[in-house]
Structure 1
């Protein structure tokens, strides 16, 4: 029995000195690799969250830039429409003014022609009344005064 106890003690000492240290070292190494892997995974998750936040911020920024560009384009379009409207209104006013000036010229011309016709008719009427011919050159002042009165 002492013999078995001695063999057991020698086996235990041999195992404790030569077998357990490499096994414990391998277990410790494995635990260290697992811990490093978990730490790397946690770091990767944190980086993923950070990248997702940055991506969302960039997308929000791009969305705002897009909205700003659309607003600027709409403002520019409205400005172009307003300029075209103003140009059309100015052109319409110019055309109306030209038409009014032309109408006034035609009215003035028609009045002058009417005065001349009335003067001629007056002379003819006077001829009929006087039964003689009235000399237009001799009575030019009288005819001009008559034109003015008409």
Structure 2
């Protein structure tokens, strides 16, 4: 065979191979490549959507955190106010109790002063009677002179 015939046969075989490849082999490869490109595009779109959702979720989380911080600060301030009110109330009660105790102590002191004066008056009256006894050198009857002693107590 001549080189030209061989070349022509090789060109025919090559064209048959190209035709076979274009008809049977190339469409599934092109479909697979198109499917792969579509999946990649869908994945990229999903990633972009996920990024957007993540950004929106971050914004919602920040908003919730800010809201929670504000609520916590309000609760702390309220608790502080309540504690201050309780402390003030306790101070008021303590002051009231102290005033009551002081008043009771004053009353007790006044009563003890009155008792001490009465005791002192009785002792002074007794001493006056003893002094009068010694001056008169005779015994003075306390029953007879009770009115005199009572006047003396009242004057003292």
TM-score (norm 2): 0.68
State the alpha-carbon separation in 2 of the partners of residues 99 and 72 from structure 1. 40
Where does the alignment leave 5 or more consecutive residues of structure 2 unmatched?
1-19
Equivalent in 61, 79, 88 of residue 82 of structure 1: 88
Q: Secondary structure at the match of 1:77?
A: helix
Equivalent in 80, 96, 99 of residue 93 of structure 1: 99
**Cα RMSD, aligned residues only:** 3.4
What count of residue pairs does the alignment treat as equivalent?
145
1:103-114 equivalences under 5 Å are 103-114=109-120
Where does the alignment leave 5 or more consecutive residues of structure 1 unmatched?
1-13
Aligned to 1:123: 129
State the alpha-carbon separation in 2 of the partners of residues 19 and 115 from structure 1. 139
State the alpha-carbon separation in 2 of the partners of residues 108 and 64 from structure 1. 65
Please list the CA deviations of residues 18-60 of structure 1 after superposition, one character each: whole Å capped at 9, or x if unmatched.
Answer: 9988777666655544443333222222111100001111111
Q: Secondary structure at the match of 2:90?
A: helix
Equivalent in 55, 74, 92 of residue 61 of structure 2: 55
1:129-144 equivalences under 5 Å are 129-144=135-150
State the alpha-carbon separation in 2 of the partners of residues 130 and 121 from structure 1. 14
Moved more, 125-134 or 136-145: 125-134
Give the C-alpha shift of residue 84 in structure 1. Answer: 2.9
Aligned to 2:70: 64
TM-score (norm 1): 0.70
